[in-house]
Amino acid sequence: MGGRWSADQVLALAPDASSVKAGQKLATPTPWTGTGATDTLVWGLCKGSGKTPYQTIVDIGAPAYKCSCPSRKFPCKHALGLLLLWSQNEVPDAAEPADYAAAWQAGRADRATKKSAEPSAPKDPDRAAKTAAQRVERVRSGIDELQLWLTDQVGNGLAGAEIDAYRRFDAVAARLVDAQAPGLATRVRRLPALFSGVDSAAVDWPARLLEELGRLWSLSVAHQRLDELPDDLAATVRRHVGYPTAKADVLAADGIADTWLCVGRRDTDEDGLLSRRTWLWGATARRYGMVLDYAPTGATLPLRPVTGEAIATTMHFYPGTPRLRCVYDDTTPPSDTPSADPVGTLEPMTLTAARHVRARAIADDPWAQTWPVLASGRFGRTDDATPALIDADTIAVPLTGLADRWPLLLALTGGAHVAVFGDLGPQGLDVASVLVDGTVIGL
């Protein structure tokens, strides 16, 4: 992603919606003086409420930010405003950075050099094996308690489960966290959403709760038989339970070098943790990948391609089946000059075909609920007025997680048939982007 960034790339760095608005207000030359940019830095002085302007610096390679304002957000509104100004070519190029920017850059380089020079503690394989074995035992203990709890839920009946649901389930989730099974804990913690207005299918909560409890049970049984499972399936079980996979191990496996098109992104904020899923389409490999990033709420997520942007890089996929989550090859900087036209390789399908694709993925991973698909259809409403995607065969799939995006979908497509990318789940399609006139537009 060389050259000056687009406004979308800049705003994708914002920690929240209020920062976006505040940054956009500062994306004008009026409050700025002494701005400049090199290949690695952007800097400027922004007039604030006091006499001394704020010194704002952005390392566009990391990216990293420095501002003398009191904000605890990263990037702050001044950094966002400066980057937006830079993206508009309103920041001049300079041969050398300003003194304060050069000093900050030198300090970062010095700290990085010192850190790399520090001798790393030698790895003790015996200790590592002992730690791993202890974790397995803790997880097994937590799963034993989970199975007792699941047996009680079904044995005593689910009537009244919606009463004080958070208290009912949070204690179980907390115990699973203590047992170092965060994946299972997250599944339990999300159960109360089945009863609330957050979920459009809340009226069906008894059947759906039973389904979720069944998945928890089957996952717990699968963990008890890890040693008997094929390697890929065992890796899938471990991932859902919550065992970590070292990024270095993922990068050590063979990757897929390709032109990767960002076909959609989705941000979620849960329990003080911001997560971003970035879906990619490989033009030659004809497959999807999904990059998952995390950051504390208010912090900055890593710079990734925005929807519609293509990069040439190598992606490495996490173990498991089917393989979807992936990471970038850190040793090869991505190029924004792809060797192929990835949009032309997109393959929209009917909704029936999309359901078959998801079914095959769920057959490989029965604890997954969604799978990325590109389907062709028009946006409309079903007989009960539910917003849906309707294909040429009049097959309809409800749209989920729309919030206020329904008018935008209608405005973008005008009722015509378009290619729609999203995550297809049991309750419907969560639309992430649409393909209009050869352009992938994110939502």
Query: Is the separation of the CB atoms in 420 and 376 below 8 Å?
Result: yes
Question: Block means of pLDDT (10 residues each) for the chain, length 443 residues?
Answer: 78 85 95 95 93 94 89 91 95 95 91 67 68 88 96 89 83 94 94 69 78 96 95 95 92 92 89 87 96 80 86 94 90 63 91 97 95 96 91 94 83 91 94 92 88
Query: Dihedral through CA 208, CA 211, CA 213, CA 215, nearest 10?
Result: -140
Query: Is the separation of the CB atoms in 259 and 335 below 8 Å?
Result: no
Residue ranges per domain, the chain? 7-97, 126-241, 247-344, 351-442
pLDDT at 193: 84
**Distance of alpha carbon 15 from alpha carbon 73, whole angstroms:** 7
pLDDT at 201: 52
Q: How many CB atoms lie within 10 A of CB 283?
A: 20
Give the DSSP H or E segment for 247.
Answer: helix 247-252
φ, ψ for residue 311 (rounded to 5)? -135, 150
Query: Is the separation of the CB atoms in 380 and 388 below 8 Å?
Result: yes
Q: CATH number of the domain at 247-344, out of 2.40.50, 2.60.120, 3.40.50, 2.30.29?
A: 2.40.50
**Distance of alpha carbon 181 from alpha carbon 296, whole angstroms:** 20
Q: How many CB atoms lie within 10 A of CB 129?
A: 10
Which of left, alpha, beta for 112 (phi over 0: left; psi -120 to 50: alpha)?
Answer: alpha
Q: How many CB atoms lie within 10 A of CB 381?
A: 14
Query: Which residue shows structure tokens 């028009």?
Result: 378
> Which amino acid, one-letter code, is at 325?
R
Query: Is the separation of the CB atoms in 91 and 44 below 8 Å?
Result: yes
**Distance of alpha carbon 320 from alpha carbon 246, whole angstroms:** 14
Query: Which residue shows structure tokens 């299918």?
Result: 201
Give the DSSP H or E segment for 377.
Answer: strand 371-381
Q: CATH number of the domain at 351-442, out of 2.40.50, 2.60.40, 1.10.287, 3.30.190?
A: 2.40.50
Give the DSSP H or E segment for 85.
Answer: helix 77-87
pLDDT at 202: 55
Q: Classify strands 54-59 and 387-390 as parallel, antiparallel or unpaired.
A: unpaired
Tokens of 34: 């002494």
Query: Dihedral through CA 154, CA 159, CA 164, CA 165, nearest 10?
Result: 40
Query: Is the separation of the CB atoms in 259 and 284 below 8 Å?
Result: yes
Q: CA 179, 141, 213, 293 torsion: positive or negative?
A: positive
pLDDT at 200: 45
**Distance of alpha carbon 123 from alpha carbon 139, whole angstroms:** 24
Tokens of 357: 């694709």
Q: CA 236, 240, 241, 243 torsion: positive or negative?
A: positive
pLDDT at 295: 80
Q: The whole model's pTM is what?
A: 0.80
Contacts 24+ apart (CB under 8 A), 357-365: 358/424, 358/425, 360/322, 361/322, 364/236, 364/321, 364/322, 365/236, 365/320, 365/321, 365/322
